[in-house]
Amino acid sequence: MSNIVAQTEMLVQPICEAAGVELVDVEYVKEGQSFFLRVYVDTPEGIDIDQCADVAEALSQQLDQQDYIEGEYVLEVSSPGAERPLKTQEAVKGALGSYINVRTYKAIDGQKEFEGYLTNFEDEIMQLEIMVKTRKKIVEIPYDMASKVRLAIKF
């Protein structure tokens, strides 16, 4: 499955560049009896349905030509939504000042999940300003300890 994701990323990257959109993520998942190839794209201004359709049409043609996915699947191209994943160090750097969610492989101060404002990202260390009860606290999370980083919505 990861091979399908990697091949799709290589196939869709030039399509995204030509369309002026950023490739955020690719996933190939089974839900119920069906397989889905999902491609998430975005721009700093947001994405619209026509941009998604353009990428989907171009990618669909390439997928038909390359034919590396066995069996039937559904291709979906869409926005990553408000809680988009931050999959690269560049994406994390671009989120400075944003409210984010970080999950870690191992506990840091007894926790494996943190939400707060990303105040700094240097030397592969993310600094988050989190709230502990009524006090602000800075927690440092090494980038390589993060299993998942995404934008979050603060309520």
Query: Residue 105's CB: how many other CB atoms inside 10 A?
Result: 11
d(CA 11, CA 42): 17
Which residues, other chains included, contact 61 with Cβ-Cβ below 8 Å and sequence gap of 6+? none
> How do the residues of the chain divide into helix, strand and coil, expressed in percent and rounded to 5?
30, 45, 25
- C-alpha 29: how far from its chain's center? 15
pLDDT tens figures, 10-55: 999 999 999 999 999 999 999 999 999 999 999 888 899 999 999 9
Round the CA-based radius of gyration of the chain to a whole number and report it. Answer: 18
pTM: 0.73
- Residue 106, pLDDT above cutoff 90: yes
- Count CA atoms closer than 13 A to 28's CA, side-chain side: 15
pLDDT tier, 1 (very low <50, low <70, confident <90, very high otherwise): low
pLDDT tens figures, 109-147: 899 999 999 999 999 999 999 998 899 999 999 999 999
pLDDT tens figures, 76-104: 999 988 888 898 899 899 899 999 999 99
3-state secondary structure of 116: strand
Q: In this predicted structure, what is the pLDDT of residue 46? A: 87
| Domains of the chain and CATH, by start | 2-78 (3.30.300.70), 89-151 (2.30.30.180)
